[in-house]
């Protein structure tokens, strides 16, 4: 399969040629005629299982006339070997995951010396890294959860004493949860979101906080149950505090997630305005200029779009937002790398300060 598939499987390098009767039509010359189920001379043999499956789908969708000749013994043997290699690779990866989980399930050495503790931690970190690599494959991620791996991560490793174990656990949770509703639901049911928000808000290690934010994003974007938990746990306040930190990556990713949630869930704009989000975003724009401001202004744009309350708050004289935006436009006009930020500034000026009165906006 491809790299995103089951990395353990390796297929035979070439498909044996079909018998002469299976290749209909000329040797690849002109014509717009459709090929038969056996394939035309222009067809490339599949190089992996994905290509094999695509060939089967394509063959099944074409006209059955003329009927294909029986599969040659050589092709039949190749197909059997290909399928066997694919399933053998999947089994091998499941065994690798089981081996990693055996390492992670061992109790922490309570009275070990410093060298022994360091070796134990290194072994556990290696297991978490291998699992993260394997679980890029969604089938492996599902198998990992069926093996109770997620219970182990949430119950023990998100709150482990070593930062290297905490951030690798958070990363693995995010990797497994991406775009897989069943896994997201399991993770949410285990109470992981509360722990991840606590890591984002309070952990002393910047890497732990960044990886926790990654996992949070995987649990709340396009996931209604996750977003509801996020709201109940005051997640927007945690995001705002993350944007106020000195860690650039954390600031950018927090602002990007906020912008994404505003675009996807405009029904929560009122909640954010009541929290003073407009004022806090404007305060962030007033800090020393950095690429992070593009995402803050993007979030502010999303907050005021089709939302009169947000526009009114942006117009408050004490914010001085109009003057700030005009000055920022002048600063950015000669810098091509800041064009998206410039567009956000211009959109905010148009949305918030081109209408003469609030009354006209509310009609």
Phi, psi dihedral angles at 167 (to 5 degrees): -70, -30
Q: Judge contact between 243 and 258, C-beta under 8 A.
A: yes
Give Cα 238 distance to the centre of its chain: 20
**pLDDT category, 13, cuts 50, 70, 90?**
very low
Q: Rounded to two decimals, what is the model's pTM? A: 0.73
Helical ranges in the chain per DSSP H: 49-61, 73-105, 114-134, 138-146, 149-152, 163-177, 181-189, 192-202, 206-220, 224-232, 235-243, 248-264, 269-274, 277-285, 292-304, 308-314, 321-332, 339-353, 358-362
Q: Are 131 and 152 in contact (CB under 8 A)?
A: no
Please report the pLDDT score of residue 46 as a whole number.
55
Over residues 112-139, mean pLDDT: 91
Structure tokens at 171: 């990363």
Predicted pLDDT of residue 310: 94
Instruction: Spell out the residues 6+ positions from residue 232 whose beta carbon is closer than 8 angstroms to its own.
Output: none
The sign one gets for the Cα dihedral 321, 324, 325, 326 is positive
215-270 residue pLDDT tens? 999 999 988 999 999 999 999 999 999 999 889 999 999 999 999 999 999 999 99
Question: What structural domains does the chain harbor?
Answer: 91-104+118-233 (1.25.10.10), 236-354 (1.25.10.10)
User: What's the pLDDT tens digit per position in 289-332?
Assistant: 988 999 999 999 999 999 999 999 999 999 999 999 999 999 99
**61 pLDDT tier (thresholds 50, 70, 90):** low
**What pLDDT, in 10s, does the model give residues 262-297?**
999 999 999 999 999 999 999 999 999 988 999 999
């Amino acid at each position: 399969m491809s790299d995103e598939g089951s990395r353990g499987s390796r297929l035979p390098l070439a498909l044996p040629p079909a018998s002469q009767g299976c290749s209909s039509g000329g040797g690849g010359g002109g014509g717009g005629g459709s090929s038969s189920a056996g394939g035309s001379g222009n067809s490339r043999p599949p190089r992996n299982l994905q290509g094999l499956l695509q060939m089967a789908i394509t063959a099944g969708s074409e006209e059955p006339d003329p009927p294909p000749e029986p599969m040659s013994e050589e092709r039949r043997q190749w197909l059997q070997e290909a399928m066997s290699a694919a399933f053998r690779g999947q089994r091998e990866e499941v065994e690798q995951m089981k081996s990693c989980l055996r390492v992670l399930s061992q109790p922490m050495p309570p009275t070990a010396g410093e060298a022994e503790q360091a070796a134990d931690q290194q072994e556990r970190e290696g297991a978490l890294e291998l699992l993260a690599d394997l679980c890029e494959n969604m089938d492996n991620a599902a198998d990992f959860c069926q093996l109770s791996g997620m219970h182990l991560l949430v119950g023990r490793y998100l709150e482990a004493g070593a930062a290297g174990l905490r951030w690798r656990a958070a990363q693995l949770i995010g990797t497994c949860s991406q775009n897989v509703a069943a896994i997201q639901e399991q993770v949410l049911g285990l109470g992981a979101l509360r722990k991840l928000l606590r890591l984002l808000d309070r952990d002393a290690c910047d890497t732990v906080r960044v990886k926790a934010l990654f996992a949070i994003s995987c649990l709340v974007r396009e996931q209604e149950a996750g977003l509801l938990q996020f709201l109940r746990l005051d997640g927007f306040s945690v995001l705002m505090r993350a944007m106020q930190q000195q860690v650039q990556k954390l600031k950018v990713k927090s602002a990007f997630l906020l912008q994404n949630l505003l675009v996807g869930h405009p029904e929560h704009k009122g909640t954010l305005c009541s929290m003073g989000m407009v004022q806090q975003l404007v305060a962030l724009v007033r800090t020393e200029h950095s690429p992070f401001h593009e995402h803050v202004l993007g979030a502010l744009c999303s907050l005021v779009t089709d939302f009169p309350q947000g526009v009114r708050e942006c117009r408050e004289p004490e914010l001085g937002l109009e003057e700030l935006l005009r000055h920022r436009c002048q600063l950015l006009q000669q810098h091509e790398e800041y064009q998206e930020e410039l567009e956000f500034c211009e959109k905010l000026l148009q949305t918030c300060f081109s209408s003469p009165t609030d009354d006209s906006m509310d009609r």
